[in-house]
Structure 1
Amino acid sequence: MESILTDRLATLSHPHRMAVFRLLMRRCPDELPAGEIVSVLGLKPSSASVYLSALTQTGLISQRREGTKLLYKINLAAAGEVVTGLFFDCCGGRADLCAPQLADLIQTAPLPTDKKLNVLFICSGNSARSILAEAILRDIGNDRFNAYSAGTAHRSDLNPTAIDVLLANGLDTTQLRSKNVTEFQGPDAPQMDFVVTVCDRAANEDCPTWQGQPIASHWGMPDPASADGTITQKRLAFQQTFDALRNKIAAFTSLSFESLDRSALQKHVDEISKLTLPKD
């Protein structure tokens, strides 16, 4: 066990291998093709292949072939073993050196039930997907949730088609505005209970740690603003994104927040990312 731990720590000691590991952790539970990892991190394909091989050999990530592509995914169990090895096995049983069992405290700590839960949806521009998600949660969960949205790159204008689709579905848009994530990271910002990225670009970025240990997840969705075709086809892309987000958010609001601990909630929220709309 000790040799596995030291091998994994040695693998993570390289900054580029660590960058790959952190990217896959942020994109969990997604599987990423090697080409996307190369593009996001600006690596040479040959170098990336070496880094991915090292991470796979030590079990920190998993590899799966799909056709001609190799897909990579974080191995959460292995990541947990590294943390356990560092905090518990390496301390030699000394109470004055061992860190408290933070994982157990975080996993079993219940969410507050005496107030609304704060949920922040993030995408790159805060003009379409995260705006749709904010409006949908405010519509179907306003009695139990405070809905927010923000972008990693500020844009001043909301996408007009996104607003049109919200209005066509009977949702209020008066409170919507484009915001940057920095608005939610100051000392006076509301403390989040959930942070959900809804676009891959935002999840790829290394955002600062959020106060209060919110449950974080990634529900990656295609950008409807990049859809090609006629005006009708482009509008359909926004409606499909709206429907997909409403399906996910409906599943989210139906979770038993009072009876599930943080570990169980994390698994349920991650599973929601895989939900698809039922076919007609």
Structure 2
Amino acid sequence: MEYEAATRHFAALGHPGRLSVVRLLLRHAPRGVRPTEIAGTLGMKSNTLSHHLAELEGAGLIGSAREGRSLFYTVRLPELAALIAYLGQDCGRGRPDLMPTHPTEIDMDRPFNVLFICSGNSARSIFAEAILRSLGGTRFRAFSAGTRPNSVLNPFAIEVLERNGLDTSGLRSKHVAEFEGPEAPRMDFVFTVCDQAASDECAPWPGQPLTAHWGMPDPAKAEGTDAEKGLAFAKAFGELHRRISAFTQLPFDQLERLALQQHLDRLGEA
């Protein structure tokens, strides 16, 4: 990275509001986020957000694309990677105590711990936990949690699970704090399955698990008759079953972390 480009990027990130925008977009990457959703999550006025988005896009750190009537903003991952590398390799001359470190391989000698997160842990993440328990065999240990406290399981979700022959015993709504303490299982994979959970603040996960955003609509917001609501839950279950089935079939022993991350991102976009 050239010196001028680095200073331009640092200047763009040097404002708390713009840094908050980039942090939010990174949690949703590689998907895009609408400006209204960014403003609502960050509590930012639309004109202020427009200014920050223009500054970040002008610096080359984010991009935008129109889908139908909606405009979506995404973070430019290669540019951010180059900026991080510039700090460590150019400014820091490759000092090992400055360079980002991460495990180079997946530990194949124990089951993978997988955590699914949504806002309420009442349906989508509960679906994912039950599905992975059913499909994963001894290769995976499935967990789920929510970012909102005091949630309860949705009866439509339980009905869908039982109708598909999945074990619901032991399922309960849990807050994400249960998995943040020193005694909690160390996760290998963490997936957010709703946009709100991706936007919520969480502490960095110990052990640097691979993460991905598999957001999907909240079936609990479906309106209409009980049959129409049940159909929304069944659709969410089917989508998660498809993604998790593909996840369990990945050749983990043949993929490096970067390649595996790319597979996880594609599953979230499919």
The answer to whether the superposition gives a TM-score over 0.5 is yes
> What amino acid is aligned across from residue 24 of structure 1 in structure 2?
L
- Partner residue of 2:126? 131
State the Cα deviation string for residues 211-238 of structure 1 (Å, max 9, x = none).
Answer: 0000011000100011011100000100
SS in structure 1 of the partner of residue 4 of structure 2: helix
Selected match of 2:135 from 126, 129, 140: 140
- Partner residue of 1:204? 199
State the Cα deviation string for residues 64-111 of structure 1 (Å, max 9, x = none).
Answer: 1234432110110011011011111112x3x6x5536435x54xx111
- Partner residue of 1:278? none
SS in structure 1 of the partner of residue 38 of structure 2: helix
Task: Indicate if the aligned counterparts of 2:31 and 2:269 stay in contact, CA closer than 8 A.
Answer: no
- Partner residue of 2:86? 85
Task: Indicate if the aligned counterparts of 1:123 and 1:151 stay in contact, CA closer than 8 A.
Answer: yes
- In 2, Cα distance between equivalents of 1:152 and 1:88: 37
Q: Report whether the alignment pairs 1:114 with 2:114.
A: no
Stretch deviating more after TM superposition (64-73 or 197-206):
64-73
- Partner residue of 2:56? 55
Which runs of 5 or more structure 1 residues have no equivalent in the other structure?
276-280
Number of equivalenced pairs: 269
- Partner residue of 1:17? 18
RMSD over aligned CA atoms reads 1.3
CA shift in 2, pair 1:190/1:75, >3 Å: same
Q: Report whether the alignment pairs 1:39 with 2:14.
A: no
Q: Report whether the alignment pairs 1:30 with 2:31.
A: yes
SS in structure 1 of the partner of residue 73 of structure 2: strand
Percentage identity across aligned positions? 48
With normalisation by structure 2, the TM-score equals: 0.96
Q: Report whether the alignment pairs 1:214 with 2:215.
A: no
Q: Report whether the alignment pairs 1:194 with 2:194.
A: no
- In 2, Cα distance between equivalents of 1:26 and 1:7: 23
Stretch deviating more after TM superposition (27-36 or 244-253):
27-36
Task: Indicate if the aligned counterparts of 1:120 and 1:195 stay in contact, CA closer than 8 A.
Answer: yes
Which runs of 5 or more structure 2 residues have no equivalent in the other structure?
none
